[in-house]
A and B are shown apart, each in its own frame.
Chain A
Amino acid sequence: MSDGKIEWNTIRERLEAISAALEKGQSPGDKERILKARAEVLAREPEDTKEKDSLEIVEFLLANEYYGFESRYIREVYPIKDYTSLPGTPSFVLGLINVRGQIMSVINIKKFFDMPDKGISDLNKVIIIHDDMMEFGILADEILGVRTVMKASLRPAPTTFSGVLAEYILGVRDGHTIILDAQKLLRDKKVVVCEEVI
């Protein structure tokens, strides 16, 4: 290109190489990388999984911060497709969704905890928590996955937390994931809405 002429031959060779790679379905570099990543995962030391000492949590994002619930209170996670808002309810009640024929109420926990709310999008997920008495969904920005946490590694909530949120913290894992007390939420009277519209 430096002398102003297009090197058509070079271009043609490159195009041929690319089409060959596409036919093979995968670039050679990718294959290597995937294998390496799997090796790393297999090489990881197995964690101590004594049941009494560990907790299984589902980690999720709320306002760009990491939170978690104990997985024994979680029935399932569900992608929110559409919902029906309920007039006359407090602002933290998002509305109702249909989970395979079952009507489920959903709480926007960011409003409940007075966190900054960026609004609801397609990517929002609902974590349905339950115990033997109560069952409702909680809106989460993103689901990160299931983690096994050693109870000993939990730290109490730092004093900088205050307000409503502080009452529901079970502990903090690795300094960033805040594990919330799902049982307390399920039992909480504040979540129960009992109002009559006059």
Chain B
Amino acid sequence: MKWFTDLSTRSKLFVSFGVMIIFFAVVVAASYSSLMEVRMLQKKMYEEEFMNMADLKDVRFYQDRIRLISMTMLAVKDKQRLESLRDSGEEVTKRDDELMSGLLDRGKASKNSAALKEFDELRKLFRATRDKQVMPLIFAGKTEEARKVISGIQAERNDKMNVIIDKLVTVSEEAARAAVAESVQAIKNFVSVLFIIGLAVFVLSFILVRYLSGIIAGPLKEVSALAEKIADGDLSVAIPVSERRDEVGTLIRTFTKMAGNMRQVNGEIHESVSTLASSTSEILSATTQVATGMAETATSVSETTATVEEVKQTVQLSAGKARVVSEGAQNAVLVARQGNDAVARTVDGISHIRELMEAVAGNIMNLSGQTQAVGEIITSVSDLTQQSNLLAVNAAVEASKAGEHGKGFTVVAQEIRSLADQSKQATEQVRSILGDIQKATASAVLAAEQVSRAVDEGVKQAGEAGESIRRLSENVAEAAQSVTQIAVSSQQQFAGMDQIAMAMENIKLAAQQNVSATRETEKAAHDLNELGQKLKEIVARYKV
């Protein structure tokens, strides 16, 4: 039945009422068919029995009429009258024929057909006799003869016919009675069938209504109960998840979503309220701090006012000092000028020293060159001693070759050799002394160079000192100017201090206003805090 529950409520109602209408149509159809059956029965009864009976009675009536007319004609002598009677007799006979033919038609299949045929035979005979015997006799005026015939054979036939008709009528009456009984039975059957169908429809409709209400109203009732709980503040309700696709299912899902959203919103509100509470307490503490700050400000303002008064006096003092400093600065400018001159003289002296020093360095350089020349001479002397030495050796060799005669020459050669040795030693001493001189010269040149550098440095420093003194004098001049400006400024400061005192008054006023405003702020923060508490209570009413 899932497809049914998934249908929309409109479709459900549509389907349910459709089923009811079908039931109703079945009932109507059954009633109609039963009524039609009864009607058919009655029609049949009417046609078969009552019509026949009436016709039979009519036929008998017409027969009697014809006989009456015949009897009447017997008493009438007027020809015209006879003819009119005969015509009416003809007319009645005609009607009788029509009825008879209908009767014969309808009774063909019934058990009365034999009796009817017999009756018809008798009637035909009667008519034939009337037309062929009675009528001509009457018109001929033979009334007696005619009467004989009429009351004779014709009467017999009439009686016979009456018997047959009575019999037929009785039969018809019985048949009609039976038909009526049948009809009553049929109605009874119809009523019982209708009752059964009606009962079935009622039961089915009841089941359908119960089912429909269970399917639609049941979940709605649950949802409404949950809604009532939510209305009472219980958001913790668990709603069964529905797979249904109809409006009820949608309603349940929407409801679940709504409850979830409400829970979330509630949680958020709860958090916000907490934040609000902490914020308000912070605001409260801040306002308290501000209030204390205000009080401090008030004290500070009064202190400042006192300080301003002191500053005023100080400013007067500083103006006096500034005048004194200005005079001092003028003196300093003079001194700086003198210092500048002294520096210039110093520079000149140092330059002279440098010139002298350069001369000394040149002399030393010359000396160095001369020692170089001496060194060269020494080298050549050394060479000579070497050669003398060799000569001495060669002389000794030659002397030894000369044998005994060369002995004295050997001594001379040895003497030459010893002289050569001595000159060698002397040149070596001179060489070492020259080395010392060279070293001393180098160090003297180095010293001269250092002196020259020192002189340069001295010139530079003297220049810098001069520059410094010049700048100092400039600065002092500027300072003098500044001091004058300071004196003027001090006057202005004095005026400014008065304004500051006034401003301090204003600040005091503003501080008082601030204090009252802070109080109001404190009260507002308090109210906010209370509001937060209220909100907290409201949120707490919801059970999450």
Contacts and interface: CB of A to CB of B under 8 A. Distances in A.
B484 interface: no
Given A41-B418, A145-B417, A58 B389 contact: no
Q: Which of B396, B413, B422 has its CB near the most chain A CB atoms (within 10 A)?
A: B396
A143 B417 CA distance: 12
Interface stretch (A69-77, A86-94, A170-178, A180-188): A69-77
Nearest to B398: A76
Interface in B170-190: none
Contacts of B396: 56, 58, 71, 145-146
Contact of A34 (B390, B392, B422): B422
B386 A146 contact: no
A79 interface: yes
Contacts of B386: 79, 123
A76 B422 contact: no
Which 8 pairs between the two chains have the least Cβ-Cβ distance?
A: A146-B396, A56-B400, A76-B394, A71-B400, A71-B397, A74-B397, A77-B393, A77-B390
The range of chain B's interface size is 10 to 19
Contact of A37 (B392, B397, B422, B426): B422
A48 to B, nearest CB: 14
Contacts of B426: 30
Q: Which of A56, A75, A125, A146 has its CB near the most chain B CB atoms (within 10 A)?
A: A146
A37 B423 CA distance: 13
Contacts of B81: none
A196 B392 CA distance: 41
B393 A146 contact: yes
Contact of A143 (B389, B414, B418, B422): B389
A77 B394 contact: yes
SS class, residues of chain B in contact with chain A:
helix
Interface string A67-106: 0000110111111000000000000000000000000000
5 contacts: A71-B400, A77-B393, A145-B393, A146-B393, A146-B400
Nearest to A79: B390
A78 to B, nearest CB: 8
Given A30-B426, A145-B417, A125 B400 contact: no
Contact of A72 (B390, B394, B400): B400
Interface string B390-419: 101110110011000000001001100110
Given A72-B400, A79-B386, A58 B393 contact: yes
A148 B77 CA distance: 251
Nearest to A60: B393
A146 to B, nearest CB: 4
B387 A79 contact: yes
Contacts of A77: 390, 393-394, 397
Interface string A57-68: 010000000000
Nearest to A57: B400
Q: Which of A75, A125, A145 has its CB near the most chain B CB atoms (within 10 A)?
A: A145
Contacts of B393: 58, 77, 143, 145-146
Interface string B117-157: 00000000000000000000000000000000000000000
Given A58-B397, A74-B397, A125 B422 contact: no
A145 to B, nearest CB: 6
A143 B386 CA distance: 10
B397 A146 contact: yes
A76 B397 contact: yes
Contacts of A143: 389-390, 393
A78 B391 CA distance: 9
Contacts of A75: 397
A194 to B, nearest CB: 30
A157 B394 CA distance: 28
A71 B403 CA distance: 12
A130 B394 CA distance: 14
Interface string B78-93: 0000000000000000
Given A56-B400, A74-B397, A123-B386, 4 more contacts: A30-B426, A58-B396, A145-B392, A146-B414
